[in-house]
Structure 1
Amino acid sequence: MKILITGASGFIGGRFARFALEQGLSVRVNGRRAEGVEHLRARGAEFVQGDLSDPELVQQLCRDVEAVVHCAGAVGVWGNYAHFHQANVQVTENVIEACLKQRVRRLVHLSSPSVYFDGQAHVGLKEEQLPKRFSDHYGKTKYLAEQQVFAAQEFGLEVLALRPRFVTGAGDTSIFPRLITMQRKGRLSIIGNGLNKVDFTSVHNLNEALLSSLLAAGPALGQVYNISNGAPVPLWDVVNYVLRQLDLPPVTRHLPYALAYGAAALNEGVCKLLPGRPEPALFRLGVAVMAKDFSLDISRARQYLDYEPKVSLWTALDEFCQWWKAHHPS
């Protein structure tokens, strides 16, 4: 099978591209940074550099491939709506159009559990339990992109979407690096009582889910799937485990939720008034994420994708820590 993987210079896209090559698939990758995919080219991947906002480039990328795994997109909390809409919705529309014109059989879309975020605690969320309104531009545009993907079924494209939660392992640059930096600066505090349980996903388990999505048939198609390790754990136990592995002091200081939320609101308000609207050090949504229970029901993925998490969170954390030490010896 020949596949295209977008966003391969990023963590998830890059790790899946390497996994797909190991499985014997023929892999074409796209990314903005050539240096970010050099290790994939060395393993036999075909690299086509360019911006997915260029429809002609996307047509070229989708030529002669059987399936597309679309991992590219804008991530984050801060920024204007136009930025997130262009990177998450318009780019996905370009990919869909190219899939249809180039007769690609299947599109596997990487979405996000951010579509569920409303600042409240949730346990065992099912795929259809969406909030009445989205908390940020990222969550809203990821959901809109999903809707575009599923609408393409009408024209014969086979589609699936995955919503993986807190993906970690070697190469993770989004979850722990910021926490590590904050702790080194003495700015990290446990928000609330520190007992909140959340989901994580080993990147190895996500790779298996993505591969299953490429091979699935029948009733598995046309659905969106929650993906996690299926075993919520106390968030701050995980954070402190990583800090200890990196020879950093654990977080012991507590900050009341109301105080942290108020400080985040003030921080956001000030940054909106400053020239260039710099990104705040603390977000209201981030405070809620770090203080409240949040877990997903993965029974649909188990039923239709035969998904079963095999790699434990602690193994994924050890892998991340070994990688971090190798790349950040200081």
Structure 2
Amino acid sequence: MKRIFLTGASGFIGSHIAEYFCKQGVDCSCLVRDARRADFLRTLPVYLVEGDILRPEILTDSLACIDTLVHTAARVSDWGRYDDFYSVNVTGTMNVMRSALHAGVRHVILTGSNASYGEESSPVVKTEDSPYNPHYPYFLDRIFPSGLNHYRDTKALACTEAMEFAARYKMDLTIIEPVWVYGEREMHTGFYEYLKTVKAGTPFFPGSDENRFHTIYVRDLARLFYLAFEARLEGVHRFLACDDDAALQRELFDMFCREAGLALPHSLPKAAVYPLALLMEAAAVLLRRPHSPMLTRAIVNIFYDNIEYSSDKATRVLGFIPEFSRAESIRRTVAWYKEKKLI
């Protein structure tokens, strides 16, 4: 039986990868920091390993007889100290790479991000041939840096160092770089937070009628990881993971609202929202708040920037075509929120 070792298995994306691989008959060992908080994973035929990517001695010992290491653990946030992002995203990733090498695991699948290519508004559809350009030049970024830039910068650095490491030691490394991911069990960012805000009765919301926003349904993403596992490509490869086309962001919000039985809020112009976000973010930084305020420069820009990528390489090399339509993906996602009484 084929065997994988999966980091970040209790997270949103990781849990779906574990579920999909189990359905394909792959033996999965899952790294979790606290097995008591891995409720969903305990419903799957997986072996739970308690540990942390910042403790490489545990990783190496757990990789015996493993075919492929799948790394999804990361610090994903728009708030926090750069050192905290670096520790998890860069140091943690390199711990994983070194542990795989020492254990004789030659095939690694790493979770990157479209953010490595930059998320600034652009008319250009970005591909794997586009240069890494993660840092967004926010207004006053030199005075108080954006936490989302900490995420982007460290993800790009982690992937760059992992690629160099794999090339040096002749390891087979495939990096899957997803765009914005949504689906069942996503409860902390994105469309779930949007639906909660709309359900609370807000009549207005930041947004544009013109910007396109690329997404991927988490079950399609999990299948792409499996295709990369089955292909076991030699050398170092990167694949952007996204739907065939980027929908207008307002159309996405409308589809979520209609499925949830909610009225779509009216869009607010960026000029009305950005100054407020700047003040809220500056105040939170000065007061050393542990969590992001409701609005930040990064959050606001996401609602107005045109962001498009191409999945042509994943289709051509791995045979990846999304299995679920956008409408079906959104229907399934909202149905899960309703079933869990989250909206």
TM-score of Structure 1 vs Structure 2, range by shorter chain: over 0.9
Given the alignment of the two structures, is residue 268 of structure 1 paired with residue 281 of structure 2, yes or no? yes
Contact 1:115 1:142 in 2 (8 A): yes
Any idea what SS the aligned residue of 1:3 has? Answer: strand
Provide the residue aligned with 1:160 in structure 2.
174
Provide the residue aligned with 1:259 in structure 2.
272
Provide the residue aligned with 1:237 in structure 2.
251
Provide the residue aligned with 1:309 in structure 2.
322
Provide the residue aligned with 2:141 in structure 1.
none
Equivalent-residue separation in structure 2 for 1:37 and 1:56 (angstroms):
22
CA RMSD of the aligned region, Å? 1.9
Equivalent-residue separation in structure 1 for 2:334 and 2:225 (angstroms):
24
Provide the residue aligned with 2:10 in structure 1.
9
Q: TM-score, normalised on structure 2?
A: 0.89
Q: 1:248 to 1:92 in 2, by over 3 A?
A: same
Deviations, residues 30-64 of structure 1 (Å, cap 9, x unaligned): 12232443433333100011222111111123222
Provide the residue aligned with 2:199 in structure 1.
184
Once the 2 structures are TM-superposed, how far is the Cα of residue 223 of structure 1 from its aligned partner? 1.4
Equivalent-residue separation in structure 1 for 2:40 and 2:270 (angstroms):
43
Once the 2 structures are TM-superposed, how far is the Cα of residue 277 of structure 1 from its aligned partner? 5.0
Deviations, residues 260-295 of structure 1 (Å, cap 9, x unaligned): 222211111111111445422112122121112211
List runs of 5+ in structure 1 lacking aligned partners.
Answer: none
Provide the residue aligned with 2:260 in structure 1.
246
Given the alignment of the two structures, is residue 281 of structure 1 paired with residue 294 of structure 2, yes or no? yes
Equivalent-residue separation in structure 1 for 2:28 and 2:207 (angstroms):
45
Equivalent-residue separation in structure 2 for 1:122 and 1:181 (angstroms):
31
List runs of 5+ in structure 2 lacking aligned partners.
Answer: 137-148
Deviations, residues 219-272 of structure 1 (Å, cap 9, x unaligned): 6x4111111111211112211221232232221x22111222222111111111
Provide the residue aligned with 1:59 in structure 2.
60
Deviates more, 1:312-321 or 1:210-219: 210-219
Partner amino acid, structure 1, of 2:294: A
Equivalent-residue separation in structure 2 for 1:77 and 1:222 (angstroms):
29
Equivalent-residue separation in structure 2 for 1:92 and 1:254 (angstroms):
40
Partner amino acid, structure 1, of 2:121: Q
Partner amino acid, structure 2, of 1:215: E
Any idea what SS the aligned residue of 1:282 has? Answer: coil
Partner amino acid, structure 2, of 1:47: L
Partner amino acid, structure 2, of 1:328: K
Contact 1:5 1:13 in 2 (8 A): yes
Any idea what SS the aligned residue of 2:104 has? Answer: coil
Equivalent-residue separation in structure 1 for 2:191 and 2:36 (angstroms):
23
Equivalent-residue separation in structure 2 for 1:123 and 1:147 (angstroms):
23
User: How is 1:62-81 mapped onto 2 (pairs within 5 angstroms)?
Assistant: 62-81=63-82
Once the 2 structures are TM-superposed, how far is the Cα of residue 92 of structure 1 from its aligned partner? 0.4
Q: TM-score, normalised on structure 1?
A: 0.93
Once the 2 structures are TM-superposed, how far is the Cα of residue 87 of structure 1 from its aligned partner? 1.0
User: How is 1:199-214 mapped onto 2 (pairs within 5 angstroms)?
Assistant: 199-214=214-229
Indicate which of 160, 185, 207 corresponds to 1:171: 185
Q: 1:228 to 1:60 in 2, by over 3 A?
A: same
Equivalent-residue separation in structure 1 for 2:133 and 2:155 (angstroms):
15
Q: 1:118 to 1:240 in 2, by over 3 A?
A: closer
Q: Percent identity?
A: 24
Partner amino acid, structure 1, of 2:263: P
Q: 1:301 to 1:277 in 2, by over 3 A?
A: same
Any idea what SS the aligned residue of 2:29 has? Answer: strand
Provide the residue aligned with 1:119 in structure 2.
120
Equivalent-residue separation in structure 2 for 1:185 and 1:138 (angstroms):
29
Partner amino acid, structure 2, of 1:45: V
Provide the residue aligned with 2:208 in structure 1.
193
Equivalent-residue separation in structure 2 for 1:188 and 1:148 (angstroms):
46
Contact 2:120 2:307 in 1 (8 A): no
Once the 2 structures are TM-superposed, how far is the Cα of residue 217 of structure 1 from its aligned partner? 4.4
Partner amino acid, structure 2, of 1:57: I
User: How is 1:59-138 mapped onto 2 (pairs within 5 angstroms)?
Assistant: 59-130=60-131, 132=133, 134-135=135-136, 136-138=149-151
Contact 1:119 1:285 in 2 (8 A): no
Contact 2:134 2:152 in 1 (8 A): no
Any idea what SS the aligned residue of 2:89 has? Answer: helix
Once the 2 structures are TM-superposed, how far is the Cα of residue 196 of structure 1 from its aligned partner? 1.5
Deviates more, 1:193-202 or 1:47-56: 193-202
Equivalent-residue separation in structure 2 for 1:212 and 1:123 (angstroms):
27
Once the 2 structures are TM-superposed, how far is the Cα of residue 105 of structure 1 from its aligned partner? 2.1
Any idea what SS the aligned residue of 1:124 has? Answer: coil
Contact 2:118 2:134 in 1 (8 A): no
